[in-house]
Structure 1
Amino acid sequence: MWPTTTTLAVDLGSCTAGVWAAHRGTVTGPLGHPYASRGRVVDVDGCAAVLSRLVRQYEQPVRPGGVVVACRPVLASEDEQAAVRRVLGLAFAPRRVLFVDTVRAAAIGSGSAAGTLLIVDVGAGLTEVALLRNGHVVAARRTEIGTGDLSRGATVDQLGDIVVRHVDDLRSGPEMPDVLTAMARGLLLVGDGAVQPGLVPAVSGALGARVHRAAAPRTAALSGAGMAATSLSRHPAGV
């Protein structure tokens, strides 16, 4: 028997949206313009309509009143999160919404959350670098540029320079020992940038550190959010 409500995970990017549903799997599709930009919701109704269309692909209906785990950009503001809550409210009428940083979700989805990790998420509209300790963000930087800017004159080398600058900034701060430990392990690269030729060698060469691509870089965050949602359904006290 299918449950009356469904536990969901949502990754609302600048160009694509993805939904994971318990017992149903994952659906993804283009988000469209100008529904979201640089990690911020621009059109609440438009984003909600996209998510509603996506879940209609499931054979079994997604009923209202469930729990949603939503990815958010690192360092997201309260206003940015409130806009996502409105989107999810319109699309799913959830009983509860929990947020997980996209970088944390991607680490979980990549099987790399344990220990000390430097993760780089180069998406369509944002480039994020975060230091994680046992799956929790302890320091992070972000810049509003991504692979979507490659069609507007940006270059892969510029994206690499941004990543290197953020890593250097973290390395010069109070978290330096953990950053050095993470660099010895190697950086994890996720997001659309992970499939861009030239980015891995550019970052690796500039930092003198290994850079590993996630096995499924574009969907790692959604997979991790789904895993967090599954854990939440089993242990309602938290994710």
Structure 2
Amino acid sequence: MPVHPAERTSVLAGRSHTRRPAITVDSEPIAVDLGSAQLRMWLGPGGVLSVPLGEGLRRPVVRRGRIVDGPACIAELRRLLRGHRTPVPVGALVVACRPVLAPRADQEVLRRVLTAVLAPSRLLFVDTVRAGAIGAGAAAGTLLLADVGAQLSEVAVLENGQVVAARRADVGTRDLNDAVTAPMLADTVARLVRELRREPAVRPLATAALARGVVVVGDGATRPDLTSRLVAALGVAVHCAASPRTAALTGASLAATAARRHPAGN
């Protein structure tokens, strides 16, 4: 399965992470999903590592899908890896989720953080909505997917796993309070869907995708009050991924495994 166009990174020397075991030809690939609520890493047979980004931190590390404190993010990821029972070798192939429509500057910060922590031999980026579709097992055919995360909601039309068009809004489940209710968040997601459907070039695919229903991943998929409102607002079926909070990481891990097996196709 192809993944998003790659950015190659070199193994850095003279950094503390080089004290970990050196690169081996058979290093397992790594998948990373740096969300606003959780930092998650998939380490192949080593399983999944995660750390919550709670209120104990002096300032946000990731906010609205953007790394806003690079050094703190590096420190959190290194702390996460120190608790892992097996040392993680440098030089692995790494696939990292990035928010859809992320500006180049945000991607560069993500690249620098992951290079400092993992020193990958190759670093590939995959849009979170695409990874979510793969992880939900819904990538084939025409699809409309909504990723409702902690601080960011992303909606995309995909065709056979490729993003055709997308929208995003800086609001998520962590914003739910007296001022932002679940119905309001659902209405925001529904608005993004309608915007996609109004695009002349996208309308036929969006209409076909909506006939299939909307697939929801992210924390929002665990909120029946939100998903039921989404059904009412759009008048279509809403399908929640079986493991919505980790769908994107699962998709990135599948992409990483495929990229390792078929490097020439990237």
TM-score category by the smaller chain? over 0.9
Distance 1:80 1:120 in 2: 21
Note closer, same or farther for the CA distance 1:152–1:97 as it changes in structure 2 (3 Å cut): farther
Question: What is the letter of the counterpart of residue 216 of structure 1?
Answer: S
Q: Secondary structure at the match of 2:83?
A: coil
- Number of positions where the alignment pairs a residue of Structure 1 with one of Structure 2: 238
Aligned equivalent of 2:10: none
Deviation, 1:3, is 6.1
Matches within 5 A, 1:70-81: 70-81=96-107
Note closer, same or farther for the CA distance 1:97–1:152 as it changes in structure 2 (3 Å cut): farther
- Cα shift readout 1:137-176 (whole Å, capped 9, x = no counterpart): 0000000011111147311111111111111111111211
Task: Identify which of 78, 93, 98 aligns with 1:67.
Answer: 93
Q: State yes or no: 1:120 paired with 2:146.
A: yes
CA RMSD of aligned residues (A): 1.5
Note closer, same or farther for the CA distance 1:4–1:232 as it changes in structure 2 (3 Å cut): closer
Aligned equivalent of 2:136: 110
- Unpaired runs of 5+ in structure 2? 1-23
Q: State yes or no: 1:56 paired with 2:82.
A: yes
User: Are the equivalent residues in 2 in contact too, given 1:160–1:202 (CA < 8 A)?
Assistant: yes
Distance 2:265 2:76 in 1: 28
Task: Identify which of 21, 28, 40 aligns with 1:18.
Answer: 40
Question: What is the letter of the counterpart of residue 79 of structure 1?
Answer: A
Q: State yes or no: 1:191 paired with 2:213.
A: no
- Unpaired runs of 5+ in structure 1? none
Output the TM-score relative to the length of structure 1: 0.95
Q: State yes or no: 1:140 paired with 2:166.
A: yes
- Cα shift readout 1:56-91 (whole Å, capped 9, x = no counterpart): 333221111111100000000110000001110111
Runs of 4+ more than 3 Å apart: 2-6
Distance 2:46 2:260 in 1: 15
Question: What is the letter of the counterpart of residue 170 of structure 1?
Answer: L
Output the TM-score relative to the length of structure 2: 0.86
User: Are the equivalent residues in 2 in contact too, given 1:19–1:54 (CA < 8 A)?
Assistant: no
Q: Which moved more, 1:34-43 or 1:24-33?
A: 24-33
* Percent of aligned pairs with the same amino acid: 53
Task: Identify which of 194, 209, 212 aligns with 1:168.
Answer: 194
Deviation, 1:15, is 1.4
Note closer, same or farther for the CA distance 1:220–1:36 as it changes in structure 2 (3 Å cut): same
Task: Identify which of 197, 212, 227 aligns with 1:200.
Answer: 227
Compare CA radii of gyration and give the structure with the larger one. Answer: 2
